[in-house]
A = this chain, B = another copy of it.
Amino acid sequence: MLLGIVKRESFYDICTMQHSINNHVKKHISATENDLVLFNNVLNEVTIAKGAYLLQPGHHVTEEFFVVKGCLKAYYMDNRGNKHIIQFAVENWWVGDFDAFYNEGTSSIYIEAVEDSQLLSIESSKLNKVFEKAPIFERYFRILVTEAFISQRKRILSAQEKNTQERYVEFCTSYSNIENRVANYDIANYLGVSPENLSRVRQKLKIS
């Protein structure tokens, strides 16, 4: 598809969107009003319809996205043609092809909207300028990646330590209410189990 992406929002929406990202920034670093304005000025507003792609393999990656409203999934296809969900992104998450973004390369993943979504995007070149003028944002992104790193590590260890049922419960808890927003077969995929198995686990949970 890749249709359905529209830049520029109404004044009201822009205010809401900036409010959302500024809150997020303030939660992580102590930025001055000047810093925030500088940062806000390089952001673009993006809306995307359910089912549309924000990113597809082969595309040159120049942007990362912040989810103001909505839900997306990031996945890739392996050599055998199997899909693997890397991440779901909901409100107040950054999403993108990190690898390609930092290495200024070509995407190897799909990012697809699971719901109609509102996003903010930042371009690599503009972000680097922000880093120069307001190095505090270097810290912001370092903290974000560190947090993501830690939560990802938990995902690895959880997969080794826990059975499917425990992991499904953990998933629903940490991604609050997500089981009502995305398909079960996508959750199964994310957890690395078959949809049939997840279905049976969900049955058992209903009973107990």
- CB of A156 within 8 A of chain B? yes
> Whose C-beta in chain B lies nearest to the C-beta of A147?
B102
A99 and B192 CA atoms in complex are apart in Å by 25
A selection of 12 A-B contacts at a CB cut-off of 8 Å is A80-B161, A84-B160, A86-B153, A86-B157, A98-B149, A98-B150, A135-B135, A135-B138, A152-B152, A152-B153, A152-B156, A159-B192
- CB of A175 within 8 A of chain B? no
Q: Count copies of this chain in the complex.
A: 2
A135 and B142 CA atoms in complex are apart in Å by 12
Min distance, Cβ A148 to any Cβ of chain B, angstroms:
6
A161 and B82 CA atoms in complex are apart in Å by 8
- CB of A155 within 8 A of chain B? yes
> Whose C-beta in chain B lies nearest to the C-beta of A99?
B150
- CB of A145 within 8 A of chain B? yes
Secondary structure class of chain A's binding surface, majority of residues: helix
Min distance, Cβ A78 to any Cβ of chain B, angstroms:
5
Interface size on A, residues (CB 8 A): 30
Contact residues of A between 158 and 194, Cβ < 8 Å to B: 159-161, 192
Residues in A lying within 8 Å of B, measured CB to CB? 76, 78, 80, 82, 84, 86, 98-99, 102, 131, 135, 138-139, 141-143, 145-146, 148-150, 152-153, 155-157, 159-161, 192
Q: Say yes or no: A146 contacts B84, CB within 8 Å.
A: no
> Whose C-beta in chain B lies nearest to the C-beta of A139?
B138
Q: A139-B138, A142-B145 are in contact. Are A78 and B152 (CB under 8 A)?
A: no
Q: A82-B161, A84-B160, A86-B157 are in contact. Are A138 and B142 (CB under 8 A)?
A: yes
> Whose C-beta in chain B lies nearest to the C-beta of A141?
B142
Besides A138-B139, A149-B152, 5 new A-B residue pairs in contact (Cβ under 8 A), listed by A number: A78-B157, A98-B150, A148-B149, A152-B156, A160-B192
